[in-house]
Amino acid sequence: MDPIEKLNLSNKASHLIATQESTAAYLREHPELLARLGQIVTAYRNINGLIPQTDSKLFSGHSFPYFESYKELENSIHLAFLGFYKSALNSLRSCLELGLLCVYYDKNDDSERVIGEWLSSREPTPMKKKILTGLSKIDNISALNFKLPILEFVADLYDKLSGFVHTRGFAYSAESLNSSSGHAFNANSFQGWIDAACITVQDLVILFLCKYPIGLFYIPLWDKFGLNPPIGGLLEPVEAETLKQVVGGPALSVLTPICQNDASAIAMAEYITALPDLREDQHEQQAMESDQEEIRRWGFQSWYDHSAIASAINDTELGEYHTLRLRKLENWARENGFFDKGEDSIATE
Residue in 237, 196, 241, 194 with CA at minimum distance from that of residue 219: 237
Rounded CA separation 136/10 (Å): 47
Domain of residue 118 covers: 10-274
Local confidence band at 48 (pLDDT 50, 70, 90 cut-offs): very high
Whether 296 and 330 map to the same domain: the answer is: yes
Beta bridge partner(s), residue 165: none
**Nearest-angstrom CA–CA distance, 100 and 322:** 47
Q: Is residue 297 domain-shared with residue 254, that is, in the same domain?
A: no
pLDDT tens across 54-70, in order?
Answer: 888 888 999 999 999 99
Position 316 scores a pLDDT of 62
User: Residue 92: helix, strand or coil by DSSP?
Assistant: helix
Query: Within 10 A of 271 (CB to CB), how many other CB atoms are there?
Result: 9
Sign of CA dihedral 185, 189, 194, 196: negative
Is residue 213 a contact partner of residue 262, using CB atoms and an 8 Å limit? Answer: yes
Q: Determine the pLDDT at residue 303.
A: 87
Dihedral angle sign, alpha carbons of residues 29, 35, 37, 41: positive
Band of residue 33 on the pLDDT scale cut at 50, 70, 90 = very high
User: What is the Cα–Cα distance from 276 to 216, expressed in whole angstroms?
Assistant: 22
On whether both 270 and 284 belong to a single domain, the answer is no
Residue 215 lies in a domain: yes
Q: Are residues 97 and 203 in the same domain?
A: yes
Which of 80, 140, 152 is CA-nearest to residue 109? 140
Among the candidates 274, 304, 334, a domain finishes at 274
Q: In the predicted model, what is the mean pLDDT of the chain? A: 92
DSSP 232: B
**Count of the separate structural domains present in the chain:** 2
Dihedral sign of CA atoms 150, 151, 156, 158 in order: positive
230-234 — which CB contacts under 8 Å span 24+ positions?
231/53, 231/58, 232/49, 232/50, 232/51, 232/52, 232/53, 232/54, 232/57, 233/49, 233/50, 233/51, 233/52, 233/53, 233/54, 234/49, 234/50, 234/272
pLDDT at 10: 79
292 and 166 fall within a common domain: no
For the stretch 231-271, pLDDT in tens is: 889 999 999 999 999 999 999 999 999 999 999 999 999 99
- pLDDT, residue 314, reads 63
Is residue 99 situated within a structural domain?
A: yes
User: Among the three residues 235, 255, 274, which one is the final residue of a domain in this structure?
Assistant: 274
In this predicted structure, the answer to whether residue 75 has a pLDDT above a threshold of 80 is yes
pLDDT of residue 4: 80
Within a domain: 343? yes
- The reply to whether 106 and 246 lie within a common domain is yes
Q: Are 256 and 304 in the same domain?
A: no
Domain final position from 257, 274, 291: 274
Q: Which amino acid is at 64?
A: F
Q: Tens digit of pLDDT for each residue in 327-345?
A: 899 899 899 989 888 876 6
Whether residues 175 and 296 share a domain: the answer is no
Do 256 and 327 lie in a common domain? no
CA 131 distance to own-chain centroid: 22
pLDDT bin (cut points 50, 70, 90) of residue 304 is confident
Residues 220 and 325 in one domain: no
pLDDT tens-place string over residues 190-243: 999 999 999 999 999 999 999 999 999 999 999 999 999 988 899 999 999 999
pLDDT-based confidence at residue 1 (cuts at 50, 70, 90): low
Q: What angle do CA 163, 165, 168 make, to 5 degrees?
A: 35
What are the helix and strand counts (H, E) for the chain? Answer: 20, 0
pLDDT digits (tens, 9 = 90+) for 281-299: 999 999 899 999 999 998 9
Quick one: pLDDT at residue 323? 80
**DSSP-based three-state secondary structure for 8:** coil
- Looking at the structure, tell me whether residues 246 and 327 fall in a common domain: no
5 assigned to some structural domain: no
Q: What is the pLDDT of residue 143?
A: 97
Check residue 318 and give its pLDDT.
Answer: 60
Q: What is the pLDDT of residue 348?
A: 54
**Count of other CB atoms within 10 angstroms of residue 283:** 15
Segment 153-201, tens digit of pLDDT: 999 999 999 999 999 999 999 999 987 666 889 999 999 999 999 999 9
Is there a contact between 169 and 161 (Cβ–Cβ < 8 Å)?
A: no
